[in-house]
Amino acid sequence: MHKHIIGLLAALSAIGSAIAGCCHMQSGPDSPVSWVGTWSTALQLVEPHNMPPEPGLSSNSLRQVVRVSIGGDQLRLHLSNEYGNAPLLVSSARIADSAGMDVVDAGTSHAVLFDGNESIAIEVGSYVTSDPLAYDLEPGSEIAITLYFGEVPSDLTGHPGSRTTSFIVSGNEVEAPQMPDAIHTDHWYVISGIDVANRPDAAAVVTLGDSITDGRGSGTNRQNRWPDQLAARMRNTGELGHVAVLNKGIGGNCVLKPCLGPSALARFERDVLDEAGVRWLIILHGVNDIGGSQDSDAELVVNKLSEAYATMIDRAHEKGIKVFGATILPFGGSFYDSPCHEEVRQSVNSWIRTSGRFDAVIDLDAALRDPESPNRLLAEADTGDHLHPSERGHELIAEAVDLRIIRE
């Protein structure tokens, strides 16, 4: 499963000013180091309409850009063939600082190796982790991962909702400083995460959710999803600059059953428990279960969602992870809107607020609802479909997270 957790978070005290700026400290013989995720995405089988455009990936190069949370002086890359129907061959891989879109800073380009080799065959249903790579990774920086493929399976593993442009060129161009003739596609393929070597008290927050967490309504190539903005808030505080945010949202995803991608329950181990250095979990999930339900199933959905939340809380607590419950946002006026669905939303939110099962509650319903029509989003927070938050809505979600729950 995804990630081997190494050196879990010793010395969790002393988060004060002595830690300010330490997310980028150099490691050495007198400085304990642990691995922690700095960027990650939730994987699924790529649907036919989201597959790479021509010329495709086989025998070609793919450059993908991600924004990391925290920095460090070593990193390791995770690649996946979890949903493949045949082995996937990565012939070579490089990482470099992004200089915008398809351009990289060639002076920062490093080869990524796997057991000392440039190439790696990823078996069906498997993932691989690269060798540790010495790399001066700046907090909040954008990193370009360029892969040159051999044969790839017809079923691909990826994250369609990247909201970030990737670049495909023919042949082996992993060392190219730019790709002016590349074919563009706004999806990620094969990459699943980056860990960094950081201080023992470095840690990560996982945000588990659906399209709202995945970034629907945020700007393409703007990296302003609410988890991105939460990460920026923590970096800017100084004392929380050692805390990463790992976005595990999947558009169209459900908690209880497979919708788009595996259900939250099915992917919980991979996307939360197996991530390196996780200490906190924010669950903003359930709107698709509510909106996709029949009126006759209203009570069942409330009970099943509360049971699912309790299960995830218990599993996280067994790993020492604190869990914060976020209330379901209003969706009045959307295609999910109905009196029954609104009643279910209110009941689920009541459980989140009052059950006492969560370590803290983030009341996003209260933060983003229209006070004149509380079953609807604030106008400024609404993309116009009355379900997904706008860019301003993503900002409001990030601002609604009380950072004191991370400090504790």
The C-alpha angle with vertex 195 and arms to 189 and 196, in degrees rounded to 5, equals 140
Comparison of pLDDT for 195 and 31, the residue scoring more: 195
- Residue 200: left (phi > 0), alpha (psi -120 to 50), or beta? alpha
Q: What pLDDT score was predicted for residue 185?
A: 98
CB neighbours of 230 closer than 8 A, spacing ≥ 6? 205, 207, 245, 398, 401
Residues 225, 391: Cα–Cα separation, whole Å: 8
Residues 50, 227: Cα–Cα separation, whole Å: 23
Measuring CA to CA, how many Å separate 357 from each of 353, 354, 372?
9, 8, 31
Count of beta carbons in the 10 Å neighbourhood of residue 87 = 15
Q: Are the beta carbons of 111 and 118 closer than 8 angstroms? A: yes
Say how many residues make up the chain. 408
**Residue of 145, 184, 180, 186 whose CA lies nearest to 163:** 186
Mean pLDDT of the chain: 92
Tell me the backbone φ, ψ of residue 238, rounded to 5 degrees.
Answer: 80, -60
Q: What pLDDT score was predicted for residue 357?
A: 98
Residues 33, 200: Cα–Cα separation, whole Å: 6
Q: Would you call 83 helix, strand, or coil by DSSP?
A: coil
**Helix 298-318 and helix 339-354, axial crossing angle in degrees, nearest 10:** 30
Q: What pLDDT score was predicted for residue 34?
A: 84
Q: Are the beta carbons of 54 and 183 closer than 8 angstroms? A: yes
Q: Is the pLDDT of residue 166 over 90?
A: yes
Look up the CATH superfamily of 202-407.
SGNH hydrolase (3.40.50.1110)
The pLDDT tens digits for 5-60 are 333 333 323 333 333 333 333 344 445 558 999 999 999 999 999 999 999 999 99
The rounded percent of the chain whose pLDDT value lies above 90 is 90
Burial class (CB in 10 A: 0-12, 13-18, 19+), 317: middle
Residues 208, 214: Cα–Cα separation, whole Å: 9
Q: What pLDDT score was predicted for residue 24?
A: 32
Mean pLDDT for the stretch of residues 353-367: 98
The pLDDT tens digits for 73-83 are 999 999 999 99
Q: Is the pLDDT of residue 211 over 90?
A: yes
179 secondary structure, DSSP code: -
Q: Is the pLDDT of residue 398 over 70?
A: yes
CB neighbours of 111 closer than 8 A, spacing ≥ 6? 92, 93, 94, 118
Mean pLDDT for the stretch of residues 236-259: 96
Tokens of 317: 């607590």
Domain boundaries, the chain: 21-193, 202-407
The pLDDT tens digits for 306-327 are 999 999 999 999 999 999 999 9
Residues 246, 267: Cα–Cα separation, whole Å: 14
Return the bridge partners of 170, or none: 60
Q: What pLDDT score was predicted for residue 33?
A: 58
The pLDDT tens digits for 265-306 are 999 999 999 999 999 999 999 999 999 999 999 999 999 999
Pairing mode, strands 243-249 and 322-326: unpaired
User: What is the value of pTM for the model shown?
Assistant: 0.91
Q: What pLDDT score was predicted for residue 238?
A: 82
Q: What pLDDT score was predicted for residue 298?
A: 94
Sign, CA torsion 387/393/395/399 = negative
